[in-house]
Amino acid sequence: MAYELFYWPTIQGRGEFVRLALEEAGVPYVDVAREPGGMAKMIAAMDGADHPSFAPPFLKAGEVMVGQTSTILLFLGDRHGLAPQDEQGRLWVQQIQMTIADMVAETHDTHHPIATSLYYEDQRPEAKRRTADFLETRIPKFFDWFEGILGRPEPKDYLLGDRISYADLSLFQLIEGLRYAFPKSLARLDAGYPLLAALHDRVAKRPRIAAYLASARRLPFNEEGIFRHYKELDDGLNPGARQSRD
């Protein structure tokens, strides 16, 4: 039976981290809300379920229902070989995933620092201040940590070494999204993180991921999702500046 993924039909958003894992695993799934009548099915599933999610995405896998992006990936990692089977390895991948999730949430808040319930236009000055700090201090702090993992004890193809995990897929998506949102700033930052850039390219070239990215199933980025391009947030800033003064 195909898995059923429930997520907003017009954005990559947090659902994209799940889609990438499903695509890499090569398992059949239905992106429910993108089917005719799917939105109504999604709303009904949120209200009526035994294990209702606070918000999409959530996944129905036969009798199992699971929500929260990182928890869905924990489940898929075990089922489809996208995480190690030993306790330390499983926990480590999930720990990295949680750190990616933290950075995703901070990225969202660059354009919505005051309230999700308000438009971006109603919190633009605050968004500029928050984005400046994000580019100056937060991206370098997170990227240093990821680059360090990829470089120890020697440069590795993936976070765990030679095998891919769901955290690699998510890290690809995070880089992809940040480059979309902040092209100028990322261009200046990227050179300092060669292993992260190589990981991004390596994931993009995996046969199933490459096929997915070229398909209509991959939605384009837009200004409704997590990664949004607002020119004024990317201009005139100094990524990594504060970090380098430390």
**Interface with its own copies, residue 40, by CB under 8 A:** no
CA separation for the pair 13, 197 (Å, rounded) = 21
**40, 43, 44, 118: residue in contact with its own copies (rule CB under 8 A):** 118
Q: Restricting to residues 58-97, which ones interact with its own copies according to CB under 8 A? A: 63-68, 70-71, 74-75, 87-88, 91-92, 94-95
CA separation for the pair 238, 137 (Å, rounded) = 10
- CB nearer to its own copies: pick between 108 and 206: 108
Least separation in angstroms between CB 64 and its own copies? 5
CA separation for the pair 51, 66 (Å, rounded) = 7
Residue 102 CB: number of other CB atoms within 10 A? Answer: 12
Q: Please, which residues have CB within 8 angstroms of residue 224's CB and are 6 or more apart in sequence?
A: 10, 11
Decide the pairing of beta strands 64-67 and 3-6.
unpaired
Least separation in angstroms between CB 193 and its own copies? 16
- CB nearer to its own copies: pick between 6 and 92: 92
Q: Please, which residues have CB within 8 angstroms of residue 108's CB and are 6 or more apart in sequence?
A: 226
**Interface with its own copies, residue 54, by CB under 8 A:** yes
Could you tell me which of 90, 88, 43, 98 has the C-alpha nearest to residue 68? 98
Helix axes 166-181, 194-204, angle to 10 degrees: 110
Q: Which stretch binds its own copies (CB under 8 A): 7-15, 129-137, 183-191, 229-237?
A: 129-137
DSSP label at 223?
T
- CB nearer to its own copies: pick between 107 and 219: 107
Least separation in angstroms between CB 218 and its own copies? 26
**Interface with its own copies, residue 98, by CB under 8 A:** yes
- CB nearer to its own copies: pick between 116 and 215: 116
**Interface with its own copies, residue 154, by CB under 8 A:** no
Question: Which sign does the torsion angle of CA 136, 142, 146, 148 carry?
Answer: positive
- Residue 203 near residue 168 (C-beta atoms within 8 A): yes
Q: Which stretch binds its own copies (CB under 8 A): 109-117, 187-195, 210-218, 226-234?
A: 109-117
CA separation for the pair 95, 93 (Å, rounded) = 5
x/- map, 173-192, its own copies, by CB under 8 A: --------------------
Could you tell me which of 51, 54, 31 has the C-alpha nearest to residue 41? 31
**Interface with its own copies, residue 99, by CB under 8 A:** yes
Least separation in angstroms between CB 120 and its own copies? 14
Where does this chain bind its own copies (CB under 8 A)? 51-54, 63-68, 70-71, 74-75, 87-88, 91-92, 94-95, 98-99, 102, 105, 109, 113-115, 117-118, 123, 126, 129-130, 133, 137, 142, 145, 148-149, 242
